[in-house]
Structure 1
Amino acid sequence: MEHYQIWIEAFSGLGLFLFGMLYLEEQIKFSAGHAFKQIVQNATKTHFKSLLTGIFSTALFQSSSIVTLMALSLVGAQLMSLESSIAIILGSNIGTTVTAWIVAIVGFSMNIKLLSYAVIGIGGLGQVLSSDASKWKNYFGILVGFGLIFLGLEGMKESFGDVAQNFDISVYAFSTPYWYALIGLTLTAVIQSSSASIAIAQSALFTHVIGFEAAAAFVVGANIGTTITALLGAIGGIPDKKRVAFAHLLFNLSTGIVSLLFLYQLITLVNIAFSHVNGVIKIAIFHTLFNVLGVLIWYPFIAFLTAFTQKYFHKTQDKVTKFICNVSTEVPEIAIEALKKEIKNLSKKVEEFALLAINVPPPKVLDENMAIDKILDKYTSNFNVEYEKVYEKIRLLEGETYRYASELSTVNNDEEYNKDLNKLTEEVNHLATAAKVIKDMLYDLDYFYNSNTKEEQEFYKNIRYQILKNIQAFNKAMQGDENSIKEMDEIYKRISDAYKKSTLIIKDIAKDHSIKSDVTTMAINDMHSIKSFSKAMYNILKLKINVNGDGLNEKI
């Protein structure tokens, strides 16, 4: 019975440690996610800066896995280059050694059970008393995470101590330490944390369950096993995400193989240079040493590694979404950037759909410096476009974007974050309205294109004018054209004038008895549709652009 109790305690200690690591990652991710994004975007211009970003970010997050996943997300959102992400991955391998140092120095140099209880108590009480929207809730959560990590570590240490007293290690020991590398690799792949695996090795070494050689080989295997997280995170992503994961695998695998080939030489070096320190700290030194050596070997070849990985994982099929499909909602600060880019992509699709509907070629026409009348006279041929399929793709894109935004709202309870998210969701709603309006007008546009009377042709040209004018104004404003933004009131007044002109044309249509009476109703409906389209696009600008004083006129 006592034998089972020992292993239950060891298993429970491991569970506490893993949960503490996961909880700590989550709390730091929510409290420092925005800072991480800003650091990455401002500090990845050179290989060296990217390397430092990887080191310090991993030291901050206490997890190379979370930094690797964030790097994958940034690449997926096209906010970071492939080269920069590879440099960050190299740096994260050095940064992850910080956990081993913390465990070695704090976890095995003092009895930390009482300290763990105190930290968990303070953190837990602070979380209960903090409001959901407060950052302090996350900060207190970080304390709870650290407390759980060290409480779990203490549990493992005590149970391994009992194992050492009750079992003859020589019966279970392998004849070669290389088997322990395989165990370290397998365990890390299963529990998805090299830090936890290395802490287990440190606990076993501290209690003399395994020797230093076995622990060193175990750590090398754990370093290779951590690549599984990146490989899983890259599944279904864009080619560059898969290339980053592949580069991570190549780096860790090559570093691990070299370390195992020169295992005894590295162990001898550590033993001679640091003979005065205990084995647990020596493992932290060993872990740091082979990771630093690996980075020194690979750092000059980052460009080569980038070029090599670009030979693989070419895009084979198109997806409905372009950005959000590559970024997990579990990384909310990066995910919202991907969402913004996806909405911009959706906006572009809606603009192109509207232009195609009036037989104007996108996006070339938006760059032409011609008067609208001349553009309309230039492009008079009817396009052979399957409009229903174009609209179906837009509708799918709208749905996926809206769903992604909804999922994001459940993973971050920050008030400002959700305020921004609500605005983005409103943009999707307005874009959906604009696309639906154009879709509903397709039959009427085709009818007026093929009409013969002067009044119907004039009405058709007026519809085209209003749609094109609206898209031009919207496009320039979205690009940040200050003059265009200042002139929006005047532009929309012109659209209003065009609306009045449409009313006069409709009266002429109604007077002409050669035109079927239902065409008058059709024209009235189209007139209101144009107004709805204009208002939907205009509402997006109100969400996107802050104008003070007598800026945009809200009535349209």
Structure 2
Amino acid sequence: MQDLFIVWVEAFSGLGLFLFGMLYLEAQIKISAGRAFKRIVQNATATTFKSLLTGLGATALFQSSSVVTLMTLSLVGAQMMGLQSALGVIFGSNIGTTVTTWIVALIGFKLDIKVLSYLMIGLGGLGSVLSSESGRWKNYFNMMVGFGLIFLGLEGMKDSFNIFSKSFDLSNYLSVSPYWFAVIGLVITAIIQSSSASIAIIQSALFTQMVSFEAAAAFVVGANIGTTVTAVLGAMGGIPDKKRTAIAHLVFNISTALVVLLTLQWMIIPFETYLFGIDDVVKIALFHTLFNLVGVVLWYPFIGSLANWVGKFFTKEVIQVTHFIHNVPLAVPELALEALQKEIIHLSDKIEEFALLSINIPPPKALEKQYGVDRLLELYNQNFDLSYEKLYEKIRLIEGEIYRYNSMLSSKDNLEAHQLQLKELSRKNIYLSTAAKSIKDMLADINNFYEATSPEEQTFYKNLRYQILKTVLAFHNAKEGDHEAIEELESTYNKIAASYKNSMKLIEDMAKNTHIKPEITAMAINDMHLVKSFSKSLRNTLNITNSKD
């Protein structure tokens, strides 16, 4: 009972290593995806036929279709390989995987990837530790570790379930229909995560005449279906294209298996009739190759159609980031202009919220006019746990959609008055984009100053928050038609522009404090420019509006 428990623990650990290695490798590919590496991948998979040859060659080299499939999924996940190219590689890997079967049949060689995994993890780990943090080689060594973890995870699962394959008495099933052996091949391959290993088992059984050739052929077909489990596991938690690739792999292998199983009794006739005298183990290797060639020949003309079909899966409903322009066609310029003006206001609202959240002020509380600036800064100073990157990404999408809509409307509507309005709206979009970028560039610094302990840094942080909050409130009130707020925004900008002298005195104090890191001083200087840029951009946006009045 205890031994069985250990087997399952080892299997679970192997699965964990496998999945972690997959995700780690994908992350390292993204980091080290330089132009040269991208070019190699793109050239090797530029056409479907090249992709097929790449899959065949890589599988013959690595002696594992599972590893090549995982590498393909990693490249798809890193968005360095398209869906159709990935299918070509997987089709080729199905042919390449027969090389191991031929090696077993002709030489009796069985690859042990445990030593290879240890070697890759060892070399990769040492290389990563000894290499420079900023150098490319560190990423390359980390990729080696990722490959090693995948190999080790696969080997761990095979070793832990070795007891099942060893104790599996095939002789008890001699009287059973050969088609049951397809199910047996599927299950064993799914468990030990290697079609090559499971086919080696049936080759051994065939060599000792424990099973018939027909049963062994059915087993091989089932093993090819079982190997798709690797792709399904590798696609877990990945981007949609990874999951689509796994589905296509599943459809390809199952459909091919069904065709071969339905015609199995006729397919084996040439092997039993014309190849009499040749070792059955060699004949099963030949059958394995023929079976995979049949699949590729059947599906190769339809790779594009298969890619289009699986492309319909895992699609999410498109969420519109804009509120107005996506609902108004360009054919009615007056309505389109009105929608564009409203979208600019929507964008400015989002930037106001972004700026307030960056300094830990809840937007509703700041804009309800219940408290003054000093009171708001005093009441709200708890750091928000937010994904500012996603907030900024949404703002950028709105900016891009506004620019696209403006450009398309400008090309359709030649009325001079409308062209002037479109130019003004385009300028507003640019100024608002600059304001958002200024806040985005200050985010990391603001967080550092929030955690600061020195009085100089805390004072600078307070001044920074004050200037941003003051600017946002004045801009918001001015948008609503408050003429005093218009003057206040102009005054706020002028004060920020003129505050360099006072700020420089504070920065000099920071520089003299030996407990403050030198880079903090550089941050403060940079943030002075950014907050000025933020205030100036909002002021310029407002000036465009007022210049029309």
The one-letter code matched in structure 1 to 2:490 is F
Give the gaps of 5 or more residues in structure 1: 321-341, 384-390, 399-425, 464-496, 505-526, 537-556
Correspondences of 1:19-418 after superposition (within 5 Å): 39-106=40-107, 108=108, 131-133=127-129, 138=144, 171-235=172-236, 237-271=238-272, 275=276, 277-316=278-317, 348-349=393-394, 351=396, 361=402, 378-379=424-425
Work out whether residues 156 and 200 of structure 1, in 8 Å CA contact, stay in contact via their aligned partners in 2.
no
The one-letter code matched in structure 1 to 2:217 is A
The 1:120–1:44 alpha-carbon spacing in structure 2 relative to 1, beyond 3 Å, is closer
Work out whether residues 477 and 485 of structure 2, in 8 Å CA contact, stay in contact via their aligned partners in 1.
no
Q: Find the counterpart in structure 1 of residue 477 from structure 2.
A: 447
Work out whether residues 496 and 532 of structure 2, in 8 Å CA contact, stay in contact via their aligned partners in 1.
no
The yes-or-no answer on 1:459 pairing with 2:490 is yes
The one-letter code matched in structure 1 to 2:424 is K
Q: Find the counterpart in structure 2 of residue 492 from structure 1.
A: none
After superposition, the CA RMSD in angstroms is 6.0
2-structure distance, mates of 1:275, 1:533: 85
Q: Find the counterpart in structure 2 of residue 476 from structure 1.
A: none
Q: Find the counterpart in structure 2 of residue 531 from structure 1.
A: 529
The one-letter code matched in structure 1 to 2:483 is N
Identical aligned pairs, as a percentage?
41
Instruction: Report the alpha carbon displacement of residue 182 of structure 1 after superposing the two structures with TM.
Output: 0.6
The one-letter code matched in structure 2 to 1:91 is G
- With 265-274 and 185-194 compared, the bigger mean Cα shift is at 265-274
The 1:428–1:56 alpha-carbon spacing in structure 2 relative to 1, beyond 3 Å, is farther
Work out whether residues 184 and 219 of structure 1, in 8 Å CA contact, stay in contact via their aligned partners in 2.
yes
Work out whether residues 114 and 151 of structure 2, in 8 Å CA contact, stay in contact via their aligned partners in 1.
no
The 1:207–1:315 alpha-carbon spacing in structure 2 relative to 1, beyond 3 Å, is same
Q: What TM-score, normalized to structure 1?
A: 0.51
The 1:211–1:253 alpha-carbon spacing in structure 2 relative to 1, beyond 3 Å, is same
1-structure distance, mates of 2:214, 2:51: 33
Q: What TM-score, normalized to structure 2?
A: 0.52
Q: What does the per-residue CA deviation read over 1:331-381, in whole Å, with 9 as the maximum and x for residues that have no partner?
A: xxxxxxxxxxx999886545568x79xxx9567679999xxxx99992499
Instruction: Report the alpha carbon displacement of residue 50 of structure 1 after superposing the two structures with TM.
Output: 1.6
Instruction: Report the alpha carbon displacement of residue 82 of structure 1 after superposing the two structures with TM.
Output: 2.6
2-structure distance, mates of 1:344, 1:61: 39
Work out whether residues 459 and 502 of structure 1, in 8 Å CA contact, stay in contact via their aligned partners in 2.
no
Instruction: Report the alpha carbon displacement of residue 185 of structure 1 after superposing the two structures with TM.
Output: 1.3
Instruction: Report the alpha carbon displacement of residue 206 of structure 1 after superposing the two structures with TM.
Output: 3.5
Q: What does the per-residue CA deviation read over 1:159-212, in whole Å, with 9 as the maximum and x for residues that have no partner?
A: 96xx89xx8x65442432110101111222333332332232233333443333
Instruction: Report the alpha carbon displacement of residue 427 of structure 1 after superposing the two structures with TM.
Output: 11
Work out whether residues 69 and 90 of structure 2, in 8 Å CA contact, stay in contact via their aligned partners in 1.
yes
Paired residue secondary structure (1:209): coil
The one-letter code matched in structure 1 to 2:269 is T
Work out whether residues 99 and 195 of structure 1, in 8 Å CA contact, stay in contact via their aligned partners in 2.
yes
2-structure distance, mates of 1:283, 1:431: 67
Work out whether residues 36 and 57 of structure 1, in 8 Å CA contact, stay in contact via their aligned partners in 2.
no
1-structure distance, mates of 2:274, 2:442: 62
2-structure distance, mates of 1:282, 1:448: 84
Instruction: Report the alpha carbon displacement of residue 263 of structure 1 after superposing the two structures with TM.
Output: 1.8
1-structure distance, mates of 2:443, 2:94: 40
1-structure distance, mates of 2:114, 2:87: 40
The one-letter code matched in structure 2 to 1:446 is H
Correspondences of 1:425-440 after superposition (within 5 Å): 429=444
The 1:265–1:530 alpha-carbon spacing in structure 2 relative to 1, beyond 3 Å, is farther
The 1:305–1:532 alpha-carbon spacing in structure 2 relative to 1, beyond 3 Å, is same
The 1:501–1:118 alpha-carbon spacing in structure 2 relative to 1, beyond 3 Å, is closer
The 1:67–1:123 alpha-carbon spacing in structure 2 relative to 1, beyond 3 Å, is closer
1-structure distance, mates of 2:112, 2:71: 29
Instruction: Report the alpha carbon displacement of residue 452 of structure 1 after superposing the two structures with TM.
Output: 1.8
Instruction: Report the alpha carbon displacement of residue 453 of structure 1 after superposing the two structures with TM.
Output: 4.1
The one-letter code matched in structure 1 to 2:475 is L
Instruction: Report the alpha carbon displacement of residue 285 of structure 1 after superposing the two structures with TM.
Output: 1.9
Q: Find the counterpart in structure 2 of residue 521 from structure 1.
A: none
Instruction: Report the alpha carbon displacement of residue 94 of structure 1 after superposing the two structures with TM.
Output: 1.3
2-structure distance, mates of 1:427, 1:251: 51
The 1:444–1:41 alpha-carbon spacing in structure 2 relative to 1, beyond 3 Å, is farther
The 1:344–1:53 alpha-carbon spacing in structure 2 relative to 1, beyond 3 Å, is farther
Work out whether residues 58 and 95 of structure 1, in 8 Å CA contact, stay in contact via their aligned partners in 2.
yes
The 1:439–1:258 alpha-carbon spacing in structure 2 relative to 1, beyond 3 Å, is farther
Instruction: Report the alpha carbon displacement of residue 238 of structure 1 after superposing the two structures with TM.
Output: 4.9
2-structure distance, mates of 1:458, 1:428: 23
Paired residue secondary structure (2:268): helix
2-structure distance, mates of 1:430, 1:212: 71
Instruction: Report the alpha carbon displacement of residue 252 of structure 1 after superposing the two structures with TM.
Output: 0.8
Instruction: Report the alpha carbon displacement of residue 287 of structure 1 after superposing the two structures with TM.
Output: 1.3
Instruction: Report the alpha carbon displacement of residue 51 of structure 1 after superposing the two structures with TM.
Output: 1.3
Instruction: Report the alpha carbon displacement of residue 431 of structure 1 after superposing the two structures with TM.
Output: 11
Give the gaps of 5 or more residues in structure 2: 131-139, 322-386, 412-419, 430-435, 449-463, 502-524, 535-549
Work out whether residues 497 and 532 of structure 2, in 8 Å CA contact, stay in contact via their aligned partners in 1.
no
The one-letter code matched in structure 1 to 2:185 is G
The one-letter code matched in structure 2 to 1:205 is L
The 1:319–1:381 alpha-carbon spacing in structure 2 relative to 1, beyond 3 Å, is closer
The 1:376–1:311 alpha-carbon spacing in structure 2 relative to 1, beyond 3 Å, is closer
Work out whether residues 189 and 226 of structure 1, in 8 Å CA contact, stay in contact via their aligned partners in 2.
yes
The 1:129–1:267 alpha-carbon spacing in structure 2 relative to 1, beyond 3 Å, is same
The 1:533–1:227 alpha-carbon spacing in structure 2 relative to 1, beyond 3 Å, is farther
Paired residue secondary structure (2:80): coil
The one-letter code matched in structure 2 to 1:266 is M
2-structure distance, mates of 1:343, 1:287: 53
The one-letter code matched in structure 2 to 1:251 is F
1-structure distance, mates of 2:442, 2:56: 38
2-structure distance, mates of 1:36, 1:205: 44
1-structure distance, mates of 2:222, 2:241: 26
Structure number with greater CO (CA < 8 Å, separation at least 6) is 1
2-structure distance, mates of 1:313, 1:118: 35
Instruction: Report the alpha carbon displacement of residue 56 of structure 1 after superposing the two structures with TM.
Output: 2.1
1-structure distance, mates of 2:171, 2:256: 30
